[in-house]
Chain A
């Protein structure tokens, strides 16, 4: 009887934990989508956020600092974005919320070229140029060496450069 009561207590704890996670995830979900969309495209971002939910839910017990919840999920999501690369997923066109807009005074084709980059390159490019993360920070974030990050970003620039050059030609 005592054992049964213990089980019920544990079940109740697990259920409460899951419920707590769901509630907190609901708050941060839109932010995750907004962050991931430029990295992998809106359509892919939906999948990434869903993956993040599942990963976060299964590992929620490891999170000791409640204040770090958002940052923790963002970390997971960013890594899921780069995971897209390994699954061979290709970038999809951005959705209505992120449609390419000609930038005044800027090369109107550059954004499209960036959106066609492989997810890993695009993610690192955005983290560096848009969010201002240093290459070393990106490396720590994605568990890549500084050299790797530098290479990936150089490769991305090379793709863009080549595309621009060919367009000019």
Chain B
């Protein structure tokens, strides 16, 4: 049976019990591979409930009965907490009760679905908020403690973020909600970069680890408080960038976008070359990439004005995900000059020319050929519009 590029996408859609797109359905009629997948999905849908039901010998109590226990335990904890603090008799402790009670409600509440993004305070200035159930559970699993819960982010209200600490290491953990790809909590390790990456999370959760040098450099600054924005656009697309909060103000410092690989499909990563902050405002620029066959396609870009040519070229490894190391390297860049139609890269002793379309490009390299590749951006006549060296 021949391989078909659409089979995985169709399989995923069927696994999610989603309707096939008309084009996919049409394709499945003529593709043996995909037709087999559709048939297997139909069989699975029919058999799964019956087979699983036969596996159990003891019925479970109704879910509400189990959930009621949970609420009861939560209430009891609250009582104990209040009692302990009341015994201490410290007025300040009462403030703590209020805060902790708020946290506790978050733990036992409906989780992210119950959050209110519109009323969320600005991230980076909000010390504590309600902790979504997922996060609370996740933190407990990792034997970590919450240093700061930043709640929803203003720019990406679908994101909840908190800073964690464990054994001297700190990390940023965040949930995307809604997450069409079903991505679990993400975790960006920080702190002592020499240690093993802070690791927790559920199976299949994408996890990216900050680059060691960058983490170390930031740890040397005063009051480093970086925030990672990462959101999922679709099943196959994602974007991410860093925004640093310093002294309560957001600034962009060494913005970089981390590669990741999603649960189901290889996705995109983006890399930001340069952000202008002279005007005091932060600019984010990211590329949204999508895996297409053996290459990567730029499906979108986002960012502030960058009327420059020739600086938006960088080299980065593609794909860094927990348990799925990826050694591919690529040159990525964005061009804001309509004259540019090709980019020429020098590596391995030769000049390699690649067509550039759409104002941005991703060129997969044959391997690690270095970060600083001399490049030239060329117009249709082959004239050099701009040249320089790519940056790591």
Measured CB to CB, the residues of A under 8 A from B are: 31, 34-35, 37-38, 62-65, 68, 70-72, 74-75, 78, 85-86, 97-98, 101, 103, 106-107, 110-111, 114, 118, 120-121, 125-127, 129-131, 133-134, 137-148, 150-152, 154-155, 157-158, 160-162, 164-165, 168-169
**A103:B54 contact, CB within 8 angstroms:** yes
Nearest 9 CB-CB pairings of A with B: A151-B182, A34-B58, A143-B137, A158-B15, A137-B63, A164-B40, A129-B52, A157-B15, A38-B55
**B204:A155 contact, CB within 8 angstroms:** yes
Closest-CB distance, B200 to chain A (whole angstroms): 9
What residues on A are CB-neighbors of B14 within 8 Å?
161
Given contacts A106-B47, A160-B48, A162-B11, contact A145 B132 (CB under 8 A): yes
User: Which of B69-77, B147-155, B247-255, B284-292 makes up part of the contact surface?
Assistant: B69-77
What residues on B are CB-neighbors of A86 within 8 Å?
141
Please give me the residue from chain B that is nearest to A97 by CB atom. B57
User: CB within 8 A of B72: which of A64, A101, A164, A169?
Assistant: A64
Closest-CB distance, B263 to chain A (whole angstroms): 7
**A131:B11 contact, CB within 8 angstroms:** no
**A106:B51 contact, CB within 8 angstroms:** yes
User: Which of B86-94, B171-179, B211-219 makes up part of the contact surface?
Assistant: B171-179
**A70:B204 contact, CB within 8 angstroms:** no
A120 to B178, CA, bound (A): 21
**CB contact list, B50-69 vs A, under 8 A:** 50-61, 63-69
**B202:A144 contact, CB within 8 angstroms:** yes
Closest-CB distance, A51 to chain B (whole angstroms): 14
A68 to B68, CA, bound (A): 8
User: CB within 8 A of B182: which of A140, A148, A157?
Assistant: A148
Given contacts A68-B72, A145-B111, A145-B112, contact A107 B56 (CB under 8 A): no
B264 proximal to A (CB < 8 A)? yes
Closest-CB distance, A156 to chain B (whole angstroms): 8
A74 to B56, CA, bound (A): 15
